[in-house]
Chains A and B, each alone.
Chain A
Amino acid sequence: MQKMKLVVVGNGMAGMRTVEELLKIAPDIYDITVFGDEPYPNYNRIMLSPVLANEQTIDDIILNTREWYAEHNITLHTNARINKIDRKNRVVYAEDGTSAEYDRLLLATGSKPFMPPIPGNDLEGVLGYRDIKDTNDMIAAAKKYKHAVVVGGGLLGLEAANGLSIQGMDVTVIHRNEWLLEKQLDKTAGIMLQKSLEAKGLKFHLSTNTETIIGDENGRVKAVRFKEGFELPADLLVLAVGIRPNFALAESAGIHCDKGVVVNDTMQTFDPRVYAVGECVAHRGISYGLVAPLFEMAKVCATHLANFGIGLYKGSVTSTKLKVTGIDLFSAGDFTGDEETEEIVLHDAVGGVYKKLIIKNDKIVGGVLYGDTTDGSWYFQMLRDGKPIHEIRDHLLFGPSAIGDTGHQGQNQASLMTNEMEVCGCNGVCKGTIVKAIQDQGLFTLDDVKKQTKAGSSCGSCVGLVEQILASTLGGGYAPPSTSKAVCGCTDRNHEEVRAEIRTHKYLNIPDAMRGMGWSTPNGCATCRPALNYYLLSTWPHEAQDDPQSRFINERVHANIQKDGTYSVIPRMYGGVTTPDQLRKIADVADKYAVPMVKVTGGQRIDLLGVKKEDLVDMWADLDMPSGYAYGKSIRTVKTCVGSEFCRFGTQNSTQMGIDIEKAFDHMWAPHKVKFAVSGCPRNCAESGIKDVGIIAVDSGWEIYVGGNGGIKTEAAQFLCKVKTSDEVLEYSGAFIQVYREEARYLDRTVHWLERVGLEYVKQRMLEDAEGRKAAYERLLYSLQGSVDPWAERVNNRNKHKEFEIIEV
């Protein structure tokens, strides 16, 4: 079949991102030709400021090399500005005489600096700030001249001014407004910013309007005169008063434009063969000048170019950071507010910290952070997700509780870290390595950074730091991922959608579920298969088919794989109580199989480490004890203290309570591991405060706490309720776990799920809806009905489980 012809006009970030997305999903349907009017292949425009500030070179910021175009059989014409589109014959013509036919055309002509109609704006030494040429011209001018004036105190103007100042020029910024960055900052933050920039050596004239630009005898700029009646010497004048979508080409071809190329939610223009993305576009009346929205558009556009007909772009909420080293500011959404909004403000003028959040109807609608922007991404995420804030309102301004974060030297503010400091303690990744990878490899998303550098890809405790580094390196280019993201690359559906469809369509096995939901891969991947398997089993207990090949090895062989490929064996000891007989048996087995290490676990059990896979079944047979499930996304252990049976402080029989819970919920699979503890009094020797469900006995009954975690990030469990009897403990904690099993995303611990749905929701389900609670508890018991000990099952059916045997040849 002959390939269709795709012509891309515009070799910038939006156009090429679309091509990259297209190549990912449909590499073979087009012959692609790209026209760019600059002499360079696609480069990272948002890194021009670091180039001007001597932090990067042009080579560093190239995103797609010429070799890349060649490798993908893309014809690239640089230095070729398209000046005519013949839509009838479907041909584009470049100024240099080149032409190309198209079946589909993608316009990504970007924007251009707005040159205000000031007399003298055509003099030599008067520049906009848009591309590599402007940047090089500025660097060259800085070597020769002294005085620079930047007109425009917006993001671009300030970044230009900062760069020129680093290049050694004497820089004055002229701004029309009363304060800097009025589109991103309120007055308070604007003044703080001005002070910091003044400390770096920049000068400012605010509320000032340019009247005329004065040239010398050679036609080069010499000075600028202002309407306020004064003049400044200027050997270089940068006009950074805004950008305008560049849609002249589209307009000349008769494509409907209104302050930009008008597109619908599929990025299609009024000519169905012509698509447009990026800064040249007017989507729902809005044009974007930041990179994050462009990438969202690119993704949507690519699915339509690939003929998938899916994906809608519905506009973007944007956030801003200023890429001036040493200055931290962040703003997003509506940061001014009106009579219907509330403000939460923290202002420490001496400490240089200012935080303002705008709240409307219990949701964050905007905010400004200055000086301490650590939590910017967190707020922005809540803004985008429309998360209610009343539960955390009293400490909202202090950010997500970072107490107990481990593995990165107690650092929570990336900007305070030096390049040599370790960010990711699991994989040994330093800040400098991350910054370099973002800059050199052109990374834009958290996933990319995790993949390329491994930082944050293991335990995840440093993800917040990595995100901060990414945000401050990219400036306006960064958009945090929405919390509702696709399960994996095999599907567009998020976890909730997958669960809902499994329920609605009653899928009972993975192939049916994948077919029904249109999985894009034949049998998924190592991320989605375990999730699907769990969702099927938890939604349709006793009916859905368990697929061992979609389980992680530990759950497949009911033992925990170790770094050398051996396994650990932990038998069940209900409530952590054992007997001399059990201990003798364990000792005998350890001797017989020459177990290299015998260790007591954190959950009060005995761990036999270093066992060969082929010995597992024999060992289980000799032990004759049930599996301790220490390897699964499942009920793990119920940790107990000695309680009222022996302890002189114990108020209830916490040991027996623990045994009862562990027996009742034995064999229970869950989205992630589930740990319980029961303490006999508030001294809490069983550490109930950091368990998924922690129970604390008091004289008059039992207190139930939920959502604690002693792992990566220490989280104290929250008080759910107090009950009188041990039966109630079983019912309430069982119902809680069942709702978690039914509603959390796979690999969510209870704390993550609680964070998302809120304690109030859980209280409503558990406390206000007694029937619902009882029904949930019944569903848990039903799903556990008739479950068998997996070790005994393997021992009794050796022939069925050949995977434990090695084939010797």
Chain B
Amino acid sequence: MSNWVKVAPFEDIPKLGARVVRTTNKDNVSIDIGVFRLEDDRILAVNNSCPHKGGPLSEGIVYGDKIACPLHSWKISLVDGKADEPDVGETACFKTKVEDGVVYLKLKS
């Protein structure tokens, strides 16, 4: 099971910026998801935790389709969640869509 949830109006996510979505996973543990807006207005979402030391990726600098973690500058791809070489690590990705100016996020069951 998975479901699309409404997040926010598209305009509330700044260009080359991000917002944090807080939700709970299946074990009822709170998790944060970073929802990012690229320069070309694509919206991408990843688990808001750097594979290195758990830094909040939403607070980093967005460039291209990557995010530079605010803690130690690991570069994480927002497309597949993988860290740039030579660093090794991965964070989970979430599907997104924009309909009628509203951003939706597909949460796993």
- A-to-B contact residues, CB < 8 Å: 451-452, 458, 521-526, 529-530, 548-550, 552-553, 556-557, 561, 563-565, 613, 802-803, 806-809
Known interface pairs A526-B61, A803-B14; 9 further A-B residue pairs with C-beta atoms within 8 A, sorted by A's residue number? A522-B39, A524-B63, A549-B15, A549-B17, A563-B71, A564-B54, A807-B20, A808-B21, A809-B105
Contact A451 B86 (CB under 8 A): yes
In the assembled complex, the CB of A797 is this many whole angstroms from the nearest CB of chain B, namely 15
Chain A residues whose CB sits within 8 angstroms of the CB of B14 once the complex forms: 548-549, 803
Give the contacting residue for B75; candidates A526, A552, A561; CB below 8 A.
A526
Contact A530 B86 (CB under 8 A): no
Chain B residues whose CB sits within 8 angstroms of the CB of A803 once the complex forms: 14, 17, 19
Q: Mark B34-49, 1 if CB is under 8 A from A, else 0.
A: 0100010000000000
Contact B19 A807 (CB under 8 A): yes
**Interface: B25 (CB within 8 A):** no
List which B85-109 residues lie within 8 A (CB) of chain A. Answer: 86, 105, 107
Q: 10 smallest A-B Cβ distances: which pairs?
A: A526-B68, A549-B16, A526-B61, A553-B59, A565-B56, A553-B70, A807-B21, A809-B5, A525-B63, A523-B39
List 12 A-B residue pairs with CB atoms under 8 Å apart, sorted by A's residue number.
Answer: A521-B63, A523-B63, A526-B61, A526-B63, A529-B63, A549-B17, A550-B16, A561-B70, A561-B71, A803-B17, A806-B21, A809-B23
List which B51-97 residues lie within 8 A (CB) of chain A. Answer: 53-56, 59-64, 68, 70-73, 75, 86
Q: A634 to B14: give the CA distance in the assembly, Å.
A: 25
Q: A529 to B75: give the CA distance in the assembly, Å.
A: 15
In the assembled complex, the CB of A25 is this many whole angstroms from the nearest CB of chain B, namely 16
Q: Mark B11-29, 1 if CB is under 8 A from A, else 0.
A: 0101111011111000000
Chain A residues whose CB sits within 8 angstroms of the CB of B32 once the complex forms: 806
Q: A808 to B20: give the CA distance in the assembly, Å.
A: 8
Contact A549 B61 (CB under 8 A): yes
Contact A808 B17 (CB under 8 A): no
Give the contacting residue for B60; candidates A451, A452, A526; CB below 8 A.
A526
Q: A728 to B28: give the CA distance in the assembly, Å.
A: 64
Chain B residues whose CB sits within 8 angstroms of the CB of A522 once the complex forms: 39, 64
In the assembled complex, the CB of A512 is this many whole angstroms from the nearest CB of chain B, namely 14
Give the contacting residue for B70; candidates A524, A550, A552, A807; CB below 8 A.
A552
Q: A482 to B48: give the CA distance in the assembly, Å.
A: 38
Q: A582 to B21: give the CA distance in the assembly, Å.
A: 36
Chain B residues whose CB sits within 8 angstroms of the CB of A565 once the complex forms: 54-56, 59
Q: A722 to B32: give the CA distance in the assembly, Å.
A: 56
Chain A residues whose CB sits within 8 angstroms of the CB of B17 once the complex forms: 548-549, 803
Using CB atoms, name the residue of chain B closest to A565.
B56
Chain A residues whose CB sits within 8 angstroms of the CB of B35 once the complex forms: 807
Contact A807 B62 (CB under 8 A): no
Using CB atoms, name the residue of chain B closest to A426.
B72
Chain A residues whose CB sits within 8 angstroms of the CB of B56 once the complex forms: 561, 565
In the assembled complex, the CB of A448 is this many whole angstroms from the nearest CB of chain B, namely 9
- B-to-A contact residues, CB < 8 Å: 5-8, 12, 14-17, 19-23, 32, 35, 39, 53-56, 59-64, 68, 70-73, 75, 86, 105, 107
Interface-centre pick from B6, B7, B15, B71 (highest chain A CB count, 10 A): B71
Using CB atoms, name the residue of chain A closest to B49.
A565
Chain A residues whose CB sits within 8 angstroms of the CB of B19 once the complex forms: 802-803, 807
Contact A809 B7 (CB under 8 A): yes
Q: A633 to B94: give the CA distance in the assembly, Å.
A: 35
Contact A523 B60 (CB under 8 A): no
Contact A563 B53 (CB under 8 A): yes
Using CB atoms, name the residue of chain B closest to A528.
B63
Contact A452 B16 (CB under 8 A): no
Chain B residues whose CB sits within 8 angstroms of the CB of A553 once the complex forms: 59-61, 70
Give the contacting residue for A809; candidates B21, B59, B68, B70; CB below 8 A.
B21
Contact B7 A807 (CB under 8 A): yes
Q: A521 to B75: give the CA distance in the assembly, Å.
A: 15
Q: A548 to B14: give the CA distance in the assembly, Å.
A: 10
Chain B residues whose CB sits within 8 angstroms of the CB of A521 once the complex forms: 63-64
In the assembled complex, the CB of A27 is this many whole angstroms from the nearest CB of chain B, namely 15
Q: A809 to B75: give the CA distance in the assembly, Å.
A: 27
Q: A808 to B32: give the CA distance in the assembly, Å.
A: 9
Chain A residues whose CB sits within 8 angstroms of the CB of B5 once the complex forms: 809
Chain A residues whose CB sits within 8 angstroms of the CB of B71 once the complex forms: 561, 563
Give the contacting residue for B6; candidates A458, A556, A809; CB below 8 A.
A809
Chain A residues whose CB sits within 8 angstroms of the CB of B107 once the complex forms: 809
Chain A residues whose CB sits within 8 angstroms of the CB of B20 once the complex forms: 806-807
Give the contacting residue for A561; candidates B59, B64, B73; CB below 8 A.
B59
Contact B61 A529 (CB under 8 A): yes
In the assembled complex, the CB of B67 is this many whole angstroms from the nearest CB of chain A, namely 9
Q: A549 to B53: give the CA distance in the assembly, Å.
A: 23
Using CB atoms, name the residue of chain B closest to A511.
B39
Chain A residues whose CB sits within 8 angstroms of the CB of B68 once the complex forms: 525-526
Q: A802 to B20: give the CA distance in the assembly, Å.
A: 11
Using CB atoms, name the residue of chain A closest to B61.
A526
Q: A549 to B15: give the CA distance in the assembly, Å.
A: 8
Chain B residues whose CB sits within 8 angstroms of the CB of A557 once the complex forms: 59
Using CB atoms, name the residue of chain A closest to B20.
A806
Q: A193 to B10: give the CA distance in the assembly, Å.
A: 71
Contact A807 B59 (CB under 8 A): no
In the assembled complex, the CB of B18 is this many whole angstroms from the nearest CB of chain A, namely 8
In the assembled complex, the CB of A268 is this many whole angstroms from the nearest CB of chain B, namely 33
Contact B8 A550 (CB under 8 A): no
Contact B61 A802 (CB under 8 A): no
In the assembled complex, the CB of A470 is this many whole angstroms from the nearest CB of chain B, namely 16
Q: A279 to B32: give the CA distance in the assembly, Å.
A: 55
In the assembled complex, the CB of A602 is this many whole angstroms from the nearest CB of chain B, namely 21
In the assembled complex, the CB of A469 is this many whole angstroms from the nearest CB of chain B, namely 18
Chain A residues whose CB sits within 8 angstroms of the CB of B73 once the complex forms: 526
Using CB atoms, name the residue of chain B closest to A561.
B70
Chain B residues whose CB sits within 8 angstroms of the CB of A807 once the complex forms: 7-8, 19-22, 35
Q: A202 to B16: give the CA distance in the assembly, Å.
A: 64
Chain B residues whose CB sits within 8 angstroms of the CB of A561 once the complex forms: 56, 59, 70-71
Q: A452 to B84: give the CA distance in the assembly, Å.
A: 11
Chain A residues whose CB sits within 8 angstroms of the CB of B15 once the complex forms: 549
Q: A613 to B56: give the CA distance in the assembly, Å.
A: 11
Interface-centre pick from A523, A529, A563, A807 (highest chain B CB count, 10 A): A807
Chain A residues whose CB sits within 8 angstroms of the CB of B6 once the complex forms: 809
Chain A residues whose CB sits within 8 angstroms of the CB of B59 once the complex forms: 553, 556-557, 561, 565, 613
Chain B residues whose CB sits within 8 angstroms of the CB of A552 once the complex forms: 61, 70
Chain A residues whose CB sits within 8 angstroms of the CB of B8 once the complex forms: 807
Q: A613 to B55: give the CA distance in the assembly, Å.
A: 14
Q: A180 to B26: give the CA distance in the assembly, Å.
A: 74
Using CB atoms, name the residue of chain A closest to B73.
A526
Contact B55 A523 (CB under 8 A): no
Give the contacting residue for A806; candidates B16, B22, B53, B54; CB below 8 A.
B22
Q: A809 to B104: give the CA distance in the assembly, Å.
A: 11
Using CB atoms, name the residue of chain A closest to B9.
A802
Give the contacting residue for A530; candidates B39, B53, B61; CB below 8 A.
B61
In the assembled complex, the CB of A531 is this many whole angstroms from the nearest CB of chain B, namely 12
Q: A45 to B54: give the CA distance in the assembly, Å.
A: 41
Using CB atoms, name the residue of chain B closest to A562.
B71
Interface-centre pick from A521, A523, A525, A613 (highest chain B CB count, 10 A): A523
Q: A458 to B32: give the CA distance in the assembly, Å.
A: 27
Chain B residues whose CB sits within 8 angstroms of the CB of A548 once the complex forms: 14, 17
Chain B residues whose CB sits within 8 angstroms of the CB of A451 once the complex forms: 86
Q: A808 to B22: give the CA distance in the assembly, Å.
A: 5
Q: A556 to B14: give the CA distance in the assembly, Å.
A: 13
Using CB atoms, name the residue of chain A closest to B50.
A565
Known contacts A526-B73, A565-B55, A565-B56; A549 and B62 CB within 8 A of each other: yes
Chain B residues whose CB sits within 8 angstroms of the CB of A523 once the complex forms: 16, 39, 63-64
